[in-house]
Amino acid sequence: MKKTVKVETKIILFYVLFFTWLYVITFLTNKDFYLNLFTSLVTAVYFTILRQRGDIEVFILSMIIPVLITMFPISNMRISFQPELVLYLPVWHLLAWGIVIVSLKRFADFFVPRYP
């Protein structure tokens, strides 16, 4: 007899991994290599186990936010255009924005009922 894991169990396991990742990137390390590795792992786990319809589009759109913020810095109350700054943006930062927004969407879908 094949055992299946409930969706709720998968969600709980993902959020344990997610909040562990959040703790690690906040307090434990500032080395880009480890942050890229761990953030890629969290992203891969989410899209392998919990992906829903529309998640990839939300992920890609939310990865654009830090790129735009980086390209248009504000200094001395003036907005300038500096696209070369995007080259200094670490990969984990883009993945972090994407997975956090997708996780918040999933969290809202889980707890906020939608009416037809």
Tens digit of each residue's pLDDT (9 = 90 or more) over 53-90:
888 999 999 999 889 988 888 888 888 888 888 888 88
pLDDT at position 28: 74
Q: Is 2 part of any domain?
A: no
pLDDT at position 4: 60
Q: How confident is residue 116, by pLDDT bands cut at 50, 70 and 90?
A: low
Lowest mean pLDDT among 3-17, 36-50, 77-91, 97-111: 3-17
Q: Is 41 part of any domain?
A: yes
Q: Is the dihedral of CA 46, 49, 52, 57 positive or negative?
A: positive
Domain of 73? 7-111
Q: Is 52 part of any domain?
A: yes
Q: How confident is residue 3, by pLDDT bands cut at 50, 70 and 90?
A: low
Provide mean pLDDT across the span 20-42. Answer: 81
Q: Residue 91: which residues within 8 A CB-CB, separation 6 or more?
A: 32, 36, 39, 40
CA–CA distance, 46 with 18 (Å, rounded to integer): 9
Q: Is 1 part of any domain?
A: no
Q: Is 40 part of any domain?
A: yes
Where helices occur in 29-90 by DSSP H, the ranges are 32-49, 55-71
Q: Is 71 part of any domain?
A: yes
91 vs 18: which has the higher pLDDT: 91
How many domains does one find in the chain?
1
Is the CB of residue 56 less than 8 Å from the CB of residue 34?
no
Q: Is 116 part of any domain?
A: no
**Tally of residues, the chain:** 116
Q: Residue 55: which residues within 8 A CB-CB, separation 6 or more?
A: 46, 47, 102, 105, 106
Q: Is 20 part of any domain?
A: yes
